[in-house]
Amino acid sequence: MQSIINSLYNMRSLDELAKKESLIHSLHPLVKLLTTFIYLSVVVSFGRYEIGGLLHLIFYPILIFSLAELPVVPILKRILYAQSFIIGICILNPLFDQHTIILGGIVISRGWITFLSIFIKGGLTAAASILLIATTGIDRLAVALRMLKIPRIFVLQLLLTYRYITVMIEEVSRMVRAYSLRAPGQKGIQRSVWGSFAGQLILRTFDRSQRVYQSMILRGFTGEYNTGAVAKVNFKDFAYLAGWSLFFIIGRIFNIPMFIGILVIGVIK
């Protein structure tokens, strides 16, 4: 039950962050969405043994963190949590990959390379998604989705889902709490009441949706959903998108950290 409350807290805190004012927050949501997608595509396009070539991409999340003044630790925790599936699958890579390489005199399995590569990619991609929502918020993201011609019904339904998660969390926690007060020592809902516990909640949910529907049609809803006016994309937004895209793509073609390394070593020499 604690995890339910925690999730609520997490979502609310991200929602709150999205409402702040900053350079990044004021950018047009469509631009942020597109930049995120290009970033994700570039990160993911690197081969499995690439690590160095990826590293310059860390500029993107770091810059957003600073310019948007987002708290680093809580978001980092989220990213780490999101990595758990990846870690689960790839932790055995060093065992599976029989090839070894020598790194600075130590012989290690090549599997560590692939593991590290995926770990870094996972971190960067998770960061990009979470930073997107932390600087945009679901409302403005919905505007961006509409601009991409995503059907209105779907966007409305997405917003409704988001809106009612809080309500559901409260309802479910109430029932879970009431249950646990009468079921001491149990770890979860026991088998004999699986059906009725969740079933009751579902029936109540159906009833609620009925009332929501009524309140919607009583205010004129006929199946179409109108968002408000859509803000225009201006030069600043364009520059943001173009600038980052250029950086990502150049970094994809040329290995920038390598470049820096060579430069430095050359200079030292």
Partner 1 sequence: MHMADALISPVVGGIMLINTAGVAVYSIKKIKNDMDEKKVPLMGVMGAFVFVAQMINFSIPGTGSSGHIGGGMLLAILLGPYAGFLTMASILFIQALFFGDGGLLAYGCNLFNLGFCTCFIAYPLIYKWIICKGAESKRIFRASMFSALIGLQMGAFSVVIETFISGKTELTFGTFLLMMQSIHLAIGLVEGVVTATIITFIWRARPEIIEKAAIGEALGNIYIKKVLIGILIAVVMVGGLLSWFASKNPDGLEWSIGKNSGTTEVKAQDEIYNTLQEIQSKTVFLPDYSFKINEGATQAENAWPSINSGTSISGIVGGTLTLTLATFIGLVIRWGKRKSS
Partner 2 sequence: MSHHKLEVRSLNFSYPDGHEAVKNISFTINHGESVGIIGANGAGKSTLLMLLMGVIFPHSGEVLLGDVHVTPKTLPMIRQRLGMVFQDPDDQLFMTTVYDDVAFGPRNYKLDENEVQSRVTKALNLVGISNLKDRAPFKLSGGEKRSATIASVLSMEPDVLIMDEPTAALDPKSRRRVIGLLKSFEHTKIITSHDLDMVFETCKRIIVIKEGEVAADGTAVEILTNVELLDDCRLEIPLSLQNCPRCGKGKA
Gyration radius (Cα) of the chain, Å: 24
If the CB atoms of residues 5 and 44 are measured against partner 2, the closer one turns out to be 5
The three-point CA angle 238-66-42 to 5° equals: 55
What does 12 bind: partner 1, partner 2, none (CB cut-off 5 to 8 Å by kind)?
partner 2
Rounded CA-CA distance 51/150 in Å is 36
Which one among 4, 10, 13, 15 touches partner 2, defined by CB under 8 A? 15
Kindly provide the b/e burial profile for residues 9-40, where b requires at least 16 CB atoms within 10 angstroms of the residue's own CB.
eebeebbebbeeeeebbebbbbbbbbbbebbb
Total site size for partner 2, rule CB under 8 A? 28
Rounded CA-CA distance 187/180 in Å is 9
If the CB atoms of residues 41 and 174 are measured against partner 2, the closer one turns out to be 174
Alpha helices in 83-109 (DSSP H): 84-90, 93-96
Q: Could you say which residues in the range 176-215 bind partner 2, by CB under 8 A?
A: 208, 211-212, 214-215
Rounded CA-CA distance 248/229 in Å is 32
Which one among 161, 177, 230, 246 touches partner 1, defined by CB under 8 A? 161
If the CB atoms of residues 173 and 233 are measured against partner 1, the closer one turns out to be 173
Which one among 23, 58, 118, 216 touches partner 2, defined by CB under 8 A? 216
The DSSP bridge partners found for residue 127 are: none
Which one among 20, 208, 227, 247 touches partner 1, defined by CB under 8 A? 208
77 touches partner 1 by CB under 8 A: no
47 touches partner 2 by CB under 8 A: no
233 touches partner 2 by CB under 8 A: no
Which residue in 154, 178, 174, 155 sits closest to 166, CA to CA? 174
Does residue 48 sit in helix, strand or coil? coil
106 touches partner 1 by CB under 8 A: no
Which one among 164, 179, 197, 247 touches partner 2, defined by CB under 8 A? 164
Q: Could you say which residues in the range 119-148 bind partner 1, by CB under 8 A?
A: 119, 121-122, 125-126, 128-130, 132-133, 138, 141
Tally of CB atoms within 10 A around 57: 25
Which one among 178, 186, 230, 243 touches partner 1, defined by CB under 8 A? 186
Query: Where do we find the tokens 């679901």?
Result: 138
19 touches partner 2 by CB under 8 A: yes
Minimum CB separation of residue 238 from partner 1 in Å reads: 22
φ, ψ dihedrals at 98, nearest 5°: -75, -20
What is the contact surface with partner 2 in residues (CB under 8 A)? 12, 15, 19, 138-139, 159-160, 162-164, 166-167, 208, 211-212, 214-222, 224, 226, 228-229
